[in-house]
Amino acid sequence: MAAKFRNILKPWEELTFIDDYMFKLVLRKHPKLCQRLLETILQIEIRKIVFLEAEQTIEPKYDSHGIRLDIYVADDQNTVYNVEMQVRPYTDLLLAKRMRYYQSTIDIDDLKPGEGYDKLPKSFIIFLCPFDFMGGKRCFYIFRTYCQQDKDLLFPDEATKIIISSTGNITEDTPRALIPLINYMNGKAAEGELVMDIDSAINTEKTIEIERRKYMTYEMKMREFRQEGYDDGFEAGFENGFENGESTGRIQSARDFIASGILSFDDIKATGKYTDEELAAIRQ
């Protein structure tokens, strides 16, 4: 069955910093902006960064979930940095476990065969999230591992995880230099030197015809990929669920398609393969 897909990507002219495609494009083409962004978030000075690989795919085992990194860089102090724009509003648990998986796979990738664990670099994983985390109590979270019996004891694994939730509350300990970035993620006008430079770079990229064409090609590939996945997966899932009488599973599958932006409720309804009761449950 061929499904009619909604536009799953924004028009080129409407892309902003929080759109994954533009986020990666600007920071990769402008390494100095990437370095300044890291310095602003971490409140440190970095002498130099090197991109380890553009949108590197890390697959430590043939049967594992590969991860595709947005920004993956290293400095000259044996430290690696992974920065991700998390567009989909994950639950707190899923976001945390996603970050945990990124950490483990990056560690495996960084440690070469025969090397000792002492060769593992210091690491920072940073998620930029234009949605609430932990109930929106804060906009800036730094996570490290401490002893449960003695919170003054830091576990010395040299792994730090940072979440910037732009819709969370700005607290007294929020770094002042981060506020323009947080506001920018929320759609407000660019302020502050770094954010204004990022905004200028985005506007410049939008005037480059070859970049616009690359984006159009990317959009077409995404449509083809999702169409193929829908035709194969949705039909197989429906038939399997129907044969086993698992209406609940089919309902959840439909909800997942809607949540991911692949199909709308009307698209699901138009298949004619759901009862009125199931459609009502999908819409809840």
Tens-digit pLDDT profile for residues 62-114: 344 556 788 999 999 999 999 999 988 889 999 999 999 999 989 988 888 88
Token representation of residue 173: 């300990």
Distance CA 27, CA 22 (A): 8
From residue 222, give the alpha-carbon distance in Å to each of 3, 43, 50, 199: 14, 37, 29, 26
Which pLDDT band, with edges at 50, 70 and 90, does 267 fall under? Answer: low
pLDDT of residue 219: 82
pLDDT of residue 93: 94
From residue 43, give the alpha-carbon distance in Å to each of 39, 84, 191: 5, 18, 18
Which pLDDT band, with edges at 50, 70 and 90, does 7 fall under? Answer: low
- Residue 145: partners with Cβ closer than 8 Å, 6 or more residues away: 154, 155, 157, 159
Over 70: is that where the pLDDT of 188 sits? yes
Lowest-confidence region among 53-62, 105-114, 241-250: 53-62
Half-sphere exposure of 24 (CA within 13 A, CB side): 18
- Residue 175: partners with Cβ closer than 8 Å, 6 or more residues away: 40, 43, 140
Q: What is the mean pLDDT of the chain?
A: 84
Better-predicted residue by pLDDT, 167 or 245: 167
Tell me if the pTM is above 0.85. Answer: no
Inter-residue contact 242 to 229 (CB < 8 Å): no
Over 50: is that where the pLDDT of 243 sits? no
Q: Is the dihedral of CA 205, 206, 211, 214 positive or negative?
A: positive
Q: Is the dihedral of CA 183, 188, 189, 190 positive or negative?
A: positive
Inter-residue contact 23 to 32 (CB < 8 Å): no
Classified as helix, coil or strand, 96 is helix
Which pLDDT band, with edges at 50, 70 and 90, does 5 fall under? Answer: very low
Half-sphere exposure of 227 (CA within 13 A, CB side): 13
For the segment 9-36, the average pLDDT, to the nearest whole number, is 94
